Chains A and B, each alone.
Chain A
Amino acid sequence: MSFMLKNGMLERSNLYRSEGIAIRAIVNGSLGFSSTNDLGRTSIRKAVEIAISSARATIGLARSPVRLSEEELSDGKLVVKPRIRFGDVGFDAAVDLLKDADAAVSKPHDGRDVKMVSRLLSVETTQCEKLLITSDGASTYSSIPRIAFDYTLIGTHHQKGSAMRSSTLGESKGWEAIERWDVVKLMNEEGDVMGRLLEEGVSAPTESVDILLGGEVVGLICHESSGHPSEADRILGREAAQAGESYLSIDSIGLEVGSPVVNVVDDPTLPGSYGFYLYDEEGVRARRRYLIKEGRITEFLNNRETGAAIGCKSNGSSRASSYNREPIVRMANTYLEPGDMSFEELIEDVKKGIYIRNFTEWNIDDRRFNQRYTGFEAYSIENGELGFPVRNPTVEMTTIGLYRVVDAIGDDLRFWGATCGKGDPSQGIPVWTGGPTIRLRDVRLGGT
């Protein structure tokens, strides 16, 4: 179920129940996929016929036969129970909490002349059950709850214009996650930041400076320019017409793309994470993957199809958003491993710099090489001290250009929720993006 407050009013409350069956079949190297929401025997038989007949109809055009890697397939069960079920909270109490969060962000902050003119706050809770059976022996069942809090805020100042901020928190937990996030306190803090930013924010410097990037920015960077280019289906060209390909090739294992302090991990097995799973959609046991270790490409994300094509094993990266979407190579929880430096240690020898704590706009090219992140909450750094707020500092760099100038990693690892889009028909899957604060040396900001 989901509900959303728009400027303090309950705009939407929606129940969603979806169930069905997916069939995947390989016929002489041609892959067919079908699904139906009707679980009656006749409909399932028809879906099987469609998967097989559509695969058969394109055998002549399937010039690269599909094979699946040989794997040790799972026979297991995973049941995650929420500590506090949404049904036990009461819909009115849940809405009241969001009302309080809205009041916290929309109230006057420190007497500033800033109005929070647009506020969209939403909560979504789901319980996803999956049963997987394959002809080569996999048999898994999982039941995983998820909850997410999503917000978009726009503030205006009569002389200084407007600014927008969006973010998402998500976990595979019950209502207890919302309580722990303390969304009222979070919205109060966002209101404070928006007020100060709009009233006191100055333009970003144009000369080269040192940059501290907060964990929310680092998590997004890891997802976009480390996770996506490591997806083996992109590397092999299977997503070329939609999400695109990769700046990496199948020969890139060992390629130096960053400084030695850069270690990027994707790990589906983190308990409570938004991208949590233990068995993938092909029955392969999930495990932690090092995408970049000590600055070098270490491993791609593979399912059984790409594993067979490349000549390696699957590392449990096959995911589908629902029964009506084909399982493809996906990330789970992608993050930069933390270092051992405190924030104070990261900042203390920065003479002139910018601290970009989180972001607003971002995008990246389809080979995952040319990327841009525009900061929302950002501050100047002068002689090791945080200074005044800075508006819209923009990091616009190549992937290798960015990872190679990382010289220090903080110890403050945190995670944020996100819905990653990929595939055709498009499918959004829950993931975590995470990171600690990092330091980049001597970078010229872009965006102008």
Chain B
Amino acid sequence: MRDQDIALRALRLAKSGGATDAVSIVRTTDLRMIRFANNSVTVSNGILEASLSLFMMMKERRASLTTTNLSSSSLDELIRNALGMAKLSLPSDVYAPLPEGPFKYRKELISIGDIRLLIERLPEAVKAAIDSAMSAGAQRVAGTLIAERTEKVLRTTGGAEGTHASTCYNLSVRAFADSEATGQFSKVATHLTDLNPEDVGRRAGEIAKKAMNPKPVDPGRYDTIIGPMTVADLMEEVALSASAFSVDAGSSFFTESLGKKVASPLFSLDDDPSDEHAPGSARFDDEGLPTSKKAIIEDGILKTYLHNSLTAKKMRTRSTANAGLLRPRPFNLEVRAGEKSLEDLISMVDNGIYITNNWYLRYQNTRNGDFSTILRDGLFKVEDGKIAGPIRGLRLSENMLRLLSNIKAIGAERHWIKWWEVETPTLAPAMLIGKVNFTKPTL
């Protein structure tokens, strides 16, 4: 069966089984990945996948299913079982009917990126990234190049009908100047010609070379320049907390913050699914609503939570068309650019730190925003407006709301970041944040 026929059949089975509302999505993916380490390709992956996701409501009762077995007999059985679960389930506190279509979606977004994956050109892109990092000072290079083509068919009982296809290329390079001096950079693009593997490799190599022979530094509070890789990671956390799911669960550090100041007035963050050059763009959300650009935070004020129909009804507002099947989520996060170059940001600091990357961000408490994250790759001391040299061993131990409030300046140059630690494509600049807290091991 064709994807449209599978989606339609699942919807009919849901309705005939008693569902008042249903969303049927068939997603087909061709993912190619070349992984490399020690300047050598370690494995080439090719993952072909088609799946059906079906979300059903019987008024206040709901159930969902996801399957990669698309045979008629398996679908019949699964849908019957899921409907049985919905009938037996406890009613939710809210029933929000699916949005009533039909809807018009932007034609420019029917197909984003290359029409087909340029698989045959991936090895040369990997070679270019490795060679560039080595030329910039790396002794060895590791990384991942991903090329992914996704096609999506959506049908809803609300009359929404949509198709969407997108191509995404994602390169992440980690360069080693020695075993502990590392630099990492990434880029995500909709066209292979925009990926520029030489630039990604060069940036990683340059950071690694500068990170050689790091010195210990005292923990404490420092004015800090945070590079785009770490800004992207922080923005994903901001968006997660802005999801109405988190707010409704009581687990968000933005609880009861709508319309209030949550960040420096210099800071604005948008979610823009309608940018045809952005890797996460989509014509419709998972309820079939046409997507649109929205400010999550504007001039430091929390403008909206990210909603689907259910959370919107609960909070007496309109959906922002950010439905995922289970919870609202962003498509493309974009930090609005400032006016400072990286050199300008560094020149503003007398005694501070420059972070290029981090990982393992974990919360002590998501509701108040206390967290810590390990800093990795190039980490530098800044003195008298200049990079004084590499340092090591620090952990950023902070509070999300305090970080957002202490933003002092924002960079003009932005980069599309997506890598192992950052799932949502994010257009991120560097930032200067005042008095950031750092800790280190006591033994």
- Docked-complex contact A361 and B48, CB < 8 angstroms: no
Main SS at interface, chain A: mixed
Is B395 at the interface (CB under 8 A from chain A)? yes
- Docked-complex contact A398 and B441, CB < 8 angstroms: yes
B320 shortest CB reach to chain A, Å: 19
- Docked-complex contact A51 and B374, CB < 8 angstroms: no
Q: In the complex, which residues of chain A have a beta carbon less than 8 angstroms from the beta carbon of B63?
A: 13-15
Main SS at interface, chain B: strand
- Docked-complex contact B51 and A37, CB < 8 angstroms: yes
Given A43-B48, A154-B251, A242-B420, also A63-B39 (CB < 8 A): yes
Q: In the complex, which residues of chain A have a beta carbon less than 8 angstroms from the beta carbon of B84?
A: 91
- Docked-complex contact A38 and B48, CB < 8 angstroms: yes
- Docked-complex contact B36 and A61, CB < 8 angstroms: yes
- Docked-complex contact B41 and A363, CB < 8 angstroms: no
- Docked-complex contact A370 and B365, CB < 8 angstroms: no
Task: Identify which of B157-165, B171-179, B338-346 touches chain A.
Answer: B171-179
A353-368 interface (Cβ within 8 A of B): 360-367
B326 shortest CB reach to chain A, Å: 6
B85 shortest CB reach to chain A, Å: 5
Q: In the complex, which residues of chain A have a beta carbon less than 8 angstroms from the beta carbon of B90?
A: 9-10, 95, 99
Task: Please pick, from A161, A326, A371, A426, the residue contacting B45 in the complex, using a CB distance under 8 A.
Answer: A326
Q: In the complex, which residues of chain B have a beta carbon less than 8 angstroms from the beta carbon of A447?
A: 372, 397, 439
- Docked-complex contact B42 and A31, CB < 8 angstroms: yes
Is B196 at the interface (CB under 8 A from chain A)? no
Is A78 at the interface (CB under 8 A from chain B)? no
Q: In the complex, which residues of chain A have a beta carbon less than 8 angstroms from the beta carbon of B72?
A: none
Q: In the complex, which residues of chain A have a beta carbon less than 8 angstroms from the beta carbon of B180?
A: 367
Q: In the complex, which residues of chain A have a beta carbon less than 8 angstroms from the beta carbon of B248?
A: 6
Is A58 at the interface (CB under 8 A from chain B)? yes
A226 shortest CB reach to chain B, Å: 17
Q: In the complex, which residues of chain B have a beta carbon less than 8 angstroms from the beta carbon of A154?
A: 250-251, 365-367
Q: In the complex, which residues of chain B have a beta carbon less than 8 angstroms from the beta carbon of A448?
A: 397, 439
Q: In the complex, which residues of chain B have a beta carbon less than 8 angstroms from the beta carbon of A402?
A: 443
Given A13-B85, A161-B368, A363-B373, also A31-B43 (CB < 8 A): yes
A383-411 interface (Cβ within 8 A of B): 392, 396-398, 401-402, 405
Is B110 at the interface (CB under 8 A from chain A)? no
B272 shortest CB reach to chain A, Å: 25
Is A237 at the interface (CB under 8 A from chain B)? yes
Is A428 at the interface (CB under 8 A from chain B)? no
Q: In the complex, which residues of chain B have a beta carbon less than 8 angstroms from the beta carbon of A10?
A: 89-90, 92
Is B362 at the interface (CB under 8 A from chain A)? yes
- Docked-complex contact A365 and B374, CB < 8 angstroms: yes
Against A, the Cβ 8 Å flags (1 = close, 0 = not) of B66-94 are 11111000100010011011101110110
Given A240-B174, A363-B374, A425-B31, also A32-B368 (CB < 8 A): no
In the complex, A402 Cα to B443 Cα: how many Å? Answer: 7
- Docked-complex contact A152 and B251, CB < 8 angstroms: yes
- Docked-complex contact A14 and B374, CB < 8 angstroms: no
Is A57 at the interface (CB under 8 A from chain B)? yes
Task: Identify which of A17-25, A129-137, A273-281, A336-344 touches chain B.
Answer: A17-25
A108-144 interface (Cβ within 8 A of B): 117-118, 120
Is B16 at the interface (CB under 8 A from chain A)? no
Q: In the complex, which residues of chain B have a beta carbon less than 8 angstroms from the beta carbon of A426?
A: 420
In the complex, A401 Cα to B442 Cα: how many Å? Answer: 9
Against A, the Cβ 8 Å flags (1 = close, 0 = not) of B311-354 are 00000000000000010000000000000000000000000000
Given A18-B67, A118-B250, A372-B395, also A36-B49 (CB < 8 A): yes
A402 shortest CB reach to chain B, Å: 7
Given A17-B74, A46-B48, A91-B84, also A425-B33 (CB < 8 A): yes
In the complex, A152 Cα to B249 Cα: how many Å? Answer: 10
Q: In the complex, which residues of chain A have a beta carbon less than 8 angstroms from the beta carbon of B364?
A: 164, 360-361, 374, 392
Q: In the complex, which residues of chain B have a beta carbon less than 8 angstroms from the beta carbon of A162?
A: 365, 367-368
Residue of chain B at shortest CB distance from A161: B368
- Docked-complex contact A444 and B144, CB < 8 angstroms: no
- Docked-complex contact A396 and B440, CB < 8 angstroms: yes
Q: In the complex, which residues of chain B have a beta carbon less than 8 angstroms from the beta carbon of A31?
A: 42-44
Is A241 at the interface (CB under 8 A from chain B)? yes
Against A, the Cβ 8 Å flags (1 = close, 0 = not) of B173-203 are 1101001100010000000000000000000
Q: In the complex, which residues of chain B have a beta carbon less than 8 angstroms from the beta carbon of A99?
A: 90
In the complex, A92 Cα to B65 Cα: how many Å? Answer: 17
- Docked-complex contact A444 and B88, CB < 8 angstroms: no
Is B126 at the interface (CB under 8 A from chain A)? yes
- Docked-complex contact A244 and B376, CB < 8 angstroms: yes
- Docked-complex contact B48 and A35, CB < 8 angstroms: yes
Is B135 at the interface (CB under 8 A from chain A)? no
Q: In the complex, which residues of chain A have a beta carbon less than 8 angstroms from the beta carbon of B78?
A: 15, 17
A154 shortest CB reach to chain B, Å: 5
- Docked-complex contact B37 and A366, CB < 8 angstroms: no
Task: Please pick, from B33, B37, B62, the residue contacting A238 in the complex, using a CB distance under 8 A.
Answer: B37
Against A, the Cβ 8 Å flags (1 = close, 0 = not) of B1-41 are 00000000000000000000000000000011111111111
Given A32-B46, A444-B443, also A237-B365 (CB < 8 A): no
- Docked-complex contact B67 and A397, CB < 8 angstroms: no
In the complex, A20 Cα to B180 Cα: how many Å? Answer: 40
Is A54 at the interface (CB under 8 A from chain B)? yes
- Docked-complex contact A443 and B367, CB < 8 angstroms: no
- Docked-complex contact A58 and B123, CB < 8 angstroms: yes
Q: In the complex, which residues of chain B have a beta carbon less than 8 angstroms from the beta carbon of A32?
A: 43-46
Given A154-B365, A244-B376, A426-B420, also A35-B47 (CB < 8 A): yes
Is B64 at the interface (CB under 8 A from chain A)? yes
Q: In the complex, which residues of chain B have a beta carbon less than 8 angstroms from the beta carbon of A36?
A: 48-49
Against A, the Cβ 8 Å flags (1 = close, 0 = not) of B354-389 are 000001111111111011111010000000000000
Q: In the complex, which residues of chain B have a beta carbon less than 8 angstroms from the beta carbon of A303?
A: none
- Docked-complex contact B69 and A57, CB < 8 angstroms: no
Against B, the Cβ 8 Å flags (1 = close, 0 = not) of A46-63 are 110011001101101111
Q: In the complex, which residues of chain B have a beta carbon less than 8 angstroms from the beta carbon of A54?
A: 32, 34, 44-46, 119
What are 28 A-B residue pairs whose CB atoms fall within 8 Å in the complex? Answer: A7-B250, A9-B90, A10-B92, A15-B67, A17-B78, A18-B66, A30-B41, A32-B43, A32-B46, A33-B46, A35-B47, A38-B48, A51-B46, A57-B44, A63-B41, A64-B40, A64-B42, A91-B84, A92-B88, A240-B38, A240-B176, A242-B172, A361-B372, A363-B395, A374-B364, A396-B442, A446-B439, A447-B372
A contacts, CB < 8 Å to B: 1, 6-7, 9-20, 30-38, 43, 46-47, 50-51, 54-55, 57-58, 60-64, 66, 90-92, 95, 99, 117-118, 120, 152, 154, 156, 161-164, 236-245, 324, 326, 360-367, 370-372, 374, 392, 396-398, 401-402, 405, 424-426, 443-448
8 cross-chain pairs, A with B, having the tightest CB-CB distances, nearest first: A118-B250, A37-B68, A54-B44, A363-B360, A240-B142, A50-B46, A401-B443, A361-B364
